[in-house]
Chains A and B, each alone.
Chain A
């Protein structure tokens, strides 16, 4: 339920919210799709099929999954930075289109002209896919402004990382969002490292949920590895924003298993740290264990889901490998619209 707006940190629900088996299965499917898709993307990058930068979401799957489950699909807008593949998959964009954009093919979501960091969908209300760290905070606030202007009841969900949380425009946006009571939920995905710089080395205060305090924006720190906690907090935050109370901040404590991008050897953290997260906190394994424990879902059932997802990813990869590159004439299209 909505909590009273307060500058002090809202308390995260003490009891772990329970998921129905149906919700667990949905979360399992969505997160596994991201995981397998990203692994495939990593592999295809290794094969030279994907160029440039490629930032994988592996480890952080619960964040976008839980939030999207709590949002109204097709109505609420979402926007994020460059680590964006998972967002699109969960929002229902075609994995083939996403993968083909990664490989720079004509069937890519941006006709191959955007790449890993630049994909969008008006239909699904996904506004990227932004390569400039922090820009999506202002843009996402603008999406919320438009919702309020039009009175359409939509909420804007703007994701950015612990690195972007130190950008000036984030606070300019916080100020305007609170001043004008804009329906925006800021999701700070704190994966502990801005590229190779740990939060301790980059941030004077590392509790990012409090970063809205001077604007009187409520914030919560959430276990971003547990999809139930994410979903629960997101419901609260989205409801708060949709009811006209203004912005809300959710700091998601999460972890990326891979490097910042493909070419990151990740020397700034220990192998043990990564292993510990993978073995003890993995968002997908948590759900898997719960489902099996529940008794009515078998290993076989989950294997079947895995097989289905593998097929989707393989199909996406095949499409992205065989789809032609954009026609040379596409070089000159979509620069401006002829009035």
Chain B
């Protein structure tokens, strides 16, 4: 490459001033030698020689302003190279920059861009598995369901291990890991120091190397220390590596509002993580979903954020007693079929929604209640089908309203079922405040059953 071109020195530089020539015609230069200084509005930089050779021509005089990037500024010929061999590339490369914009202008820049974006692939969730006729249903707490899910998966796959604060000797801060240490030993049930950023990153590295870590955060509030590793390392890795390096792992722990623990320990991260491509986000409500979805999460080849809820740990539900109860990720559950109004919720929100539904049904409102279960990928089809039937939607969540799950659902319904809506969607959410400590204020900050009923009354014009 005998031509020396005006270099670009930043992603945005288009032209600059050729401030000074450090070499003159006839000088011999070698790789790394400074040839010239150029100035942009931001800085003065040096142009270095890449190859050895002799400066045979200076094409742009010192002091010239507005030299466009890629303009030939000098000729440096290597030993045995002739100026003639240099001429050809000039003619070939020179027209390129000017040609491209013309083409774009002819077609219309907008049209070119619009055509260039291919359609996003559609995620098709599977249906829940059919249970055998007369299957025994076992009553258990969400806590037991989560514990069983991990124990079963750890029995099946020795690459699965769990790490986190107090998961081993202490048997889990919330006893979700009870007896795992006894069964699987300290190499697979690992107490960590209080070091969320570090152990989350360590687990992601272990996943890159082929293990399947379960990372327990004592609560998701503490995972804020680790969110960089969850998003920048785990979620983006597959894409950044062109599909080569996987992060098959589960980040789990209690999320959402606890009781009387104040602003730093009471927060719902559902919307935060559901924002991120590359992550799977699951937030179950029932014991059966907790078990079936945690098993699916552990088996998933993708990084999964599994959002549990402390208040729900002790609540009981019926879990089918089958050998391997795994539920599909990305599939909402219709908790109650109805025709008048659609209520969509997940996790703890389902408690308010369920209680409201009972009262509303008693009052003659035929509610369709949907539990999203998975927040990403979000099963909008189930929601939209429902809204096309009912024409009304109320969303319920503990998180803040702005950019929340309800906001997302509203947008999707507006986009896909606008003509079916008979009333604006109403979001029932946590209030737009940090969680207060005082009992009365905390109660006010949370969504409640009456708010859900009031919202349903409003969208059905019953108030």
* Contact yes or no, A127 B232, CB < 8 A: no
Q: Answer whether A135 and B208 are a contact pair too, CB < 8 Å, given A48-B8, A263-B9.
A: no
Q: Answer whether A130 and B198 are a contact pair too, CB < 8 Å, given A45-B7, A334-B238.
A: no
* Contact yes or no, B240 A114, CB < 8 A: yes
Q: Answer whether A109 and B11 are a contact pair too, CB < 8 Å, given A142-B208, A265-B43.
A: no
CB distance from B406 to the nearest CB of A (A): 24
* Contact yes or no, A141 B238, CB < 8 A: no
* Contact yes or no, B244 A120, CB < 8 A: yes
Determine the chain A residues whose CB is within 8 A of the CB of B241 once the complex forms: 110, 114, 118-120, 128, 334
Q: Does B197 contact A (CB under 8 A)?
A: yes
Q: Does B173 contact A (CB under 8 A)?
A: no
CA separation between A143 and B116, bound complex, in Å?
Answer: 39
CB distance from B64 to the nearest CB of A (A): 17
* Contact yes or no, A145 B205, CB < 8 A: yes
Task: Considering the complex, give the chain B residue whose CB is closest to the CB of A337.
Answer: B301
* Interface members, chain A 267-301 (any B CB < 8 Å): 267, 278
Determine the chain B residues whose CB is within 8 A of the CB of A336 once the complex forms: 238, 277-278, 280, 302
Q: Does B239 contact A (CB under 8 A)?
A: yes
- Stretch of B164-172, B175-183, B187-195, B445-453 at the chain-chain interface: B187-195
Q: Which residues of B contact A (CB under 8 A)?
A: 1, 5-11, 13, 31-32, 42-45, 47-48, 50, 69-70, 116-118, 120-121, 161, 187, 192-193, 195, 197-211, 228-229, 232-233, 237-246, 277-278, 280, 296, 299-302, 329
* Contact yes or no, B233 A139, CB < 8 A: yes
* Interface members, chain A 129-157 (any B CB < 8 Å): 129-132, 135, 137-147, 149-150, 156
CB distance from A317 to the nearest CB of B (A): 9
Determine the chain B residues whose CB is within 8 A of the CB of A109 once the complex forms: 242
Determine the chain A residues whose CB is within 8 A of the CB of B244 once the complex forms: 110, 120-122
15 A-B pairs besides A114-B242, A146-B208 with CB distance below 8 A are: A40-B50, A43-B50, A108-B242, A110-B240, A120-B241, A127-B208, A135-B229, A138-B198, A138-B204, A145-B205, A156-B205, A175-B198, A176-B202, A263-B13, A334-B239
* Contact yes or no, B197 A168, CB < 8 A: yes
Determine the chain A residues whose CB is within 8 A of the CB of B31 once the complex forms: 36, 39
Q: Does A339 contact B (CB under 8 A)?
A: yes
Best-buried of B8, B207, B296 by chain A (most CB within 10 Å): B8
Determine the chain B residues whose CB is within 8 A of the CB of A337 once the complex forms: 238, 246, 301-302
Q: Does A181 contact B (CB under 8 A)?
A: no
Q: Answer whether A142 and B202 are a contact pair too, CB < 8 Å, given A45-B7, A334-B238.
A: yes
What would be 21 A-B contacts, judged by CB atoms less than 8 Å apart?
A39-B32, A39-B48, A42-B48, A110-B241, A111-B242, A114-B240, A120-B240, A135-B201, A135-B229, A135-B233, A138-B197, A143-B208, A143-B209, A150-B210, A257-B32, A263-B9, A328-B116, A329-B118, A336-B238, A336-B302, A339-B302
Determine the chain B residues whose CB is within 8 A of the CB of A108 once the complex forms: 242
Which 8 A-B residue pairings sit nearest by Cβ, starting from the closest? A142-B205, A138-B201, A172-B198, A46-B7, A146-B209, A263-B10, A111-B242, A265-B43
CA separation between A45 and B13, bound complex, in Å?
Answer: 11
Q: Does A16 contact B (CB under 8 A)?
A: no
* Contact yes or no, B205 A127, CB < 8 A: yes
* Contact yes or no, A332 B233, CB < 8 A: no
Determine the chain A residues whose CB is within 8 A of the CB of B8 once the complex forms: 45-48
* Contact yes or no, A141 B202, CB < 8 A: yes
* Contact yes or no, B120 A278, CB < 8 A: no
CB distance from A231 to the nearest CB of B (A): 25
* Contact yes or no, A172 B197, CB < 8 A: yes
* Contact yes or no, B243 A149, CB < 8 A: no
Q: Answer whether A331 and B202 are a contact pair too, CB < 8 Å, given A39-B50, A176-B195.
A: no
Task: Considering the complex, give the chain A residue whose CB is closest to the CB of B296.
Answer: A339
Best-buried of B208, B243, B245 by chain A (most CB within 10 Å): B208
Q: Does A173 contact B (CB under 8 A)?
A: yes
CA separation between A43 and B3, bound complex, in Å?
Answer: 11
Task: Considering the complex, give the chain A residue whose CB is closest to the CB of B6.
Answer: A46
Determine the chain B residues whose CB is within 8 A of the CB of A92 once the complex forms: none
Q: Does A204 contact B (CB under 8 A)?
A: no
Interface residue from B195, B205, B243 paired with A333 (Cβ < 8 Å): B243
* Contact yes or no, A146 B201, CB < 8 A: no
A76-90 CB contact bits vs B (8 Å, 1 = yes)? 010100000000000
* Contact yes or no, B211 A146, CB < 8 A: yes
* Contact yes or no, B209 A47, CB < 8 A: no
CB distance from A279 to the nearest CB of B (A): 11
Q: Does A324 contact B (CB under 8 A)?
A: no
CB distance from A196 to the nearest CB of B (A): 11
Best-buried of B9, B228, B232, B277 by chain A (most CB within 10 Å): B9
* Contact yes or no, B246 A339, CB < 8 A: no
CA separation between A175 and B202, bound complex, in Å?
Answer: 12
Determine the chain A residues whose CB is within 8 A of the CB of B120 once the complex forms: 332
* Contact yes or no, B199 A176, CB < 8 A: yes
A19-58 CB contact bits vs B (8 Å, 1 = yes)? 0000000000000000010011011011110011100000
Q: Does A335 contact B (CB under 8 A)?
A: yes
Q: Does A195 contact B (CB under 8 A)?
A: no
Q: Does A179 contact B (CB under 8 A)?
A: yes
Q: Does A256 contact B (CB under 8 A)?
A: no
Q: Does A262 contact B (CB under 8 A)?
A: yes
CB distance from B206 to the nearest CB of A (A): 4
* Contact yes or no, A172 B117, CB < 8 A: no
Task: Considering the complex, give the chain A residue whose CB is closest to the CB of B241.
Answer: A120
Q: Does A228 contact B (CB under 8 A)?
A: no
* Contact yes or no, B242 A334, CB < 8 A: yes
A92-136 CB contact bits vs B (8 Å, 1 = yes)? 000000000000000011111110001111100001111110010
* Contact yes or no, A48 B70, CB < 8 A: yes
CA separation between A42 and B10, bound complex, in Å?
Answer: 11
Task: Considering the complex, give the chain B residue whose CB is closest to the CB of A180.
Answer: B190
* Contact yes or no, B193 A138, CB < 8 A: no
Q: Does A169 contact B (CB under 8 A)?
A: yes
CA separation between A120 and B238, bound complex, in Å?
Answer: 10
Task: Considering the complex, give the chain B residue whose CB is closest to the CB of A326.
Answer: B242
Task: Considering the complex, give the chain A residue whose CB is closest to the CB of B211.
Answer: A146
Determine the chain B residues whose CB is within 8 A of the CB of A119 once the complex forms: 241
Task: Considering the complex, give the chain B residue whose CB is closest to the CB of A119.
Answer: B241
CA separation between A118 and B232, bound complex, in Å?
Answer: 11
Q: Answer whether A331 and B70 are a contact pair too, CB < 8 Å, given A143-B209, A337-B238.
A: no
Task: Considering the complex, give the chain A residue whose CB is closest to the CB of B13.
Answer: A263
Task: Considering the complex, give the chain B residue whose CB is closest to the CB of A40.
Answer: B50
A306-339 CB contact bits vs B (8 Å, 1 = yes)? 0000000000000000000000110111111101
* Contact yes or no, B228 A132, CB < 8 A: yes
